[in-house]
Chain A
């Protein structure tokens, strides 16, 4: 199987301070990698390095065989890299409809509106009138756009009610089944365990655990968050 995303010896952080060190991993096409670790271990930094909003100091990033480490974030987006950041996820003054279409060539399938009916109800309302959890769902659906081949999600479950987290997990599995690759940074073990094909545990900016869903137990995952 060919790796859609291939990260080799990636090191980077903010300004002169590196936060993640010598990170290497691959995500196959049609596979979901769950990244876990306590707060401050470098999950968000890793997501942003791959997405391109902060530059890496060392390493290689290849997307579908093309080196992207030196490309700006918008060029990576054009290559099919979707991203949902942890905060500041939607355009408050634009309507839900505008949020879903801005920057995307694909229309969200009706399936998402069935799973998250509030989006359909509020299509013509500014996103700023929605609750924090609803905005998070809107950002999630934006990131799930079908013109993406690699989706990076940073804590999508934060502030979302448990039923909707289950629906997010359902969407992820469906997208992965259709061939998309996902890099999911999460602290919610239930969600991670439910959707991940492989796991990458971080501690102090370095890889401290890897495994597949067949070889990794719930205790293994818990131990990464309890270090």
Chain B
């Protein structure tokens, strides 16, 4: 809690000292910078954690500002005004969530597409605000209303802004310590992997966007009360862009970064504006320099200096709390393909694939490169939509469900090229995997969630040869490829899926490591008594582990039989000999 309370207390103390040290006018100016800083904190939360860059936050800022202006003009009771403000905040948050759902549902989109939509919306909003004169006052805006509770913007209202600034910062600092923060970072790092771990990433991104919109709206309400006038520029693109600049300069990865950016840029602009005719040019150069030389912003430079004095303590202990049970049904069921077709463009990848696996055991899938092995797994997990036929797991059709539903059906997937979270540590990768299919809403806000451990994960990590238990805090970015294979395997079995799909788990492993991986897979299957489907080229592995072997060739099933029968099948011998390392 020190890392939460210390910066929040320091911020509170510093802001409370401003009127005493610099007088009311400076406090008024700082108050305005802080309002922009709060809105920028919302952008920092969204951009820094999920990678989604909103270019239209002034839409929410402006709507809230106009709403506040209209409410304050009515001169109602303070309690009524606060109640209306709460309703408006909820409505704006809900609107932002629905908007995000429309964009994110069914798309792995965090980039320019979303940013451009928010940009278009804010341009529409500015146009509407400028022309809807009866509601907004048109180009001249709305004025002639007093501040909230008639507090003086040059006096008492400063403390309202300070309270809001510290409250928002405290909430964001607390969120930084909670699993919800790790989940958001994981979405930014590798959205497809999050989906295979059962996380509905569109909901996560939508919630993050709605939260940032709520913060922008809070800032907009404060702005109207502080300035006593709201014009179309409050909903305009120029303000949106400025908020992004404040966030980038201050540092989007740190809670206090956008506040620092707002105060530094605001103060520098005010100082230069009166003394230097080309001050905007200087500000632009400052922005370019920060982006090029310190992409993490001023806050990152401060943190780096701080960490030189107080390094982060290392924590090399393995998680130890028993995790809650997964929610999917663990009864073994067969997997059935019925005349499955898959076509991408003009390329026919699967062409009438039909087979039914046993409920329990290990099935190896072999075949030449391009036979459709990985694509078959992609249709099971919903990463590719079949163009004909159906896939059922037990009695349930699964071929049309999205990837994040696969684990909810009990299907875990390890990909061909290790799909892990490169910007996170080994321990953080494992934590995310342990949350898969177990997380309830309240667990998002409990730090004990980080300590979850399952029997399957323990079985992997406790094995003396598995190269993960040492270096838990190592960034995955620098792990060798083979170690990533073991990490992704551990992440996949952490949820103890009933159907485990492994796509060439031994690729890039030495013969000894291959033996270790083979043992882990066999142990897992024997312990869980479920179904394991393995794509493999090494026939010595196929022989050692397989109850049955599925041979695919040119998108069709060549045969599905025991290893011995497959080995003697002349059709198989003609197209695929296999080999060993």
Residues of A with Cβ closer than 8 Å to B?
14, 17, 38-40, 44, 86-87, 118, 122, 125-126, 129-134, 136-137, 155, 158-165, 187-190, 222, 225-226
Cross-chain pair count, CB within 8 angstroms: 108
Nearest Cβ on chain A to B428's Cβ, whole angstroms: 19
Which of chain B's residues 497-512 have a Cβ closer than 8 Å to chain A?
Answer: 503-504, 507-512
Complex interface: chain B residues within 8 A of A87 (CB):
417, 481
Q: Is the CB of A39 within 8 A of B510?
A: yes
Closest chain B residue to A42 by CB distance?
Answer: B480
Q: Is the CB of A132 within 8 A of B511?
A: no
| Docked complex Cα distance between A133 and B373 (Å) | 11
Complex interface: chain A residues within 8 A of B507 (CB):
158-159
| Docked complex Cα distance between A131 and B539 (Å) | 20
Interface centre among A86, A87, A132, A188 (most CB of B within 10 A): A132
Query: Which one of A14, A164, A188 contacts B369 once the chains associate, using CB atoms below 8 Å?
Result: A164
Interface string of B464-489 (1 = CB under 8 A from A): 00010000000001111111000000
Which of chain B's residues 40-68 have a Cβ closer than 8 Å to chain A?
Answer: none
Complex interface: chain B residues within 8 A of A225 (CB):
510-512
Complex interface: chain A residues within 8 A of B417 (CB):
87, 132
Query: Which listed segment binds A: B74-82, B244-252, B385-393, B571-579?
Result: B571-579
Query: Which one of A86, A125, A131, A163 contacts B508 once the chains associate, using CB atoms below 8 Å?
Result: A86
Query: Which one of A38, A159, A162, A165 contacts B510 once the chains associate, using CB atoms below 8 Å?
Result: A38
Interface centre among B504, B510, B576 (most CB of A within 10 A): B510
| Docked complex Cα distance between A105 and B510 (Å) | 36
| Docked complex Cα distance between A51 and B213 (Å) | 46
Interface string of B339-374 (1 = CB under 8 A from A): 000001111010000000000000000011111111
Complex interface: chain A residues within 8 A of B108 (CB):
none
Whether A39 contacts B509 in the complex (CB less than 8 A), given A131-B369, A132-B417, A134-B370, comes out as yes
Residues of B with Cβ closer than 8 Å to A?
344-347, 349, 367-375, 416-417, 467, 477-483, 503-504, 507-513, 537, 539, 576-581
Q: Is the CB of B577 within 8 A of A162?
A: yes
Whether A132 contacts B580 in the complex (CB less than 8 A), given A160-B537, A163-B368, comes out as no
Q: Is the CB of B481 within 8 A of A134?
A: no
B-side binding surface: helix, strand, loop or mixed?
Answer: loop
Whether A17 contacts B478 in the complex (CB less than 8 A), given A39-B467, A158-B508, comes out as yes
Closest chain B residue to A154 by CB distance?
Answer: B481
Complex interface: chain B residues within 8 A of A129 (CB):
344-345, 347, 349
Q: Is the CB of A190 within 8 A of B369?
A: no
Whether A161 contacts B537 in the complex (CB less than 8 A), given A129-B347, A131-B369, comes out as yes
Whether A163 contacts B480 in the complex (CB less than 8 A), given A39-B509, A132-B417, A134-B370, comes out as no
A-B contact pairs, 20 of them (CB 8 A): A40-B480, A40-B483, A87-B481, A118-B370, A129-B347, A131-B369, A132-B503, A134-B370, A158-B508, A160-B369, A161-B367, A162-B577, A162-B579, A162-B580, A163-B368, A163-B577, A163-B579, A189-B581, A222-B511, A225-B511
Closest chain B residue to A159 by CB distance?
Answer: B507
Interface centre among A14, A39, A187, A190 (most CB of B within 10 A): A39
Whether A39 contacts B369 in the complex (CB less than 8 A), given A162-B578, A187-B509, A190-B581, comes out as no
Q: Is the CB of A40 within 8 A of B511?
A: no
Interface centre among B369, B373, B581 (most CB of A within 10 A): B369
Nearest Cβ on chain A to B510's Cβ, whole angstroms: 4
| Docked complex Cα distance between A188 and B514 (Å) | 11
Closest chain A residue to B369 by CB distance?
Answer: A133
Complex interface: chain A residues within 8 A of B371 (CB):
131
Closest chain B residue to A125 by CB distance?
Answer: B347
Q: Is the CB of A226 within 8 A of B512?
A: yes
Q: Is the CB of B576 within 8 A of A161?
A: yes
Interface centre among B513, B537, B580 (most CB of A within 10 A): B537
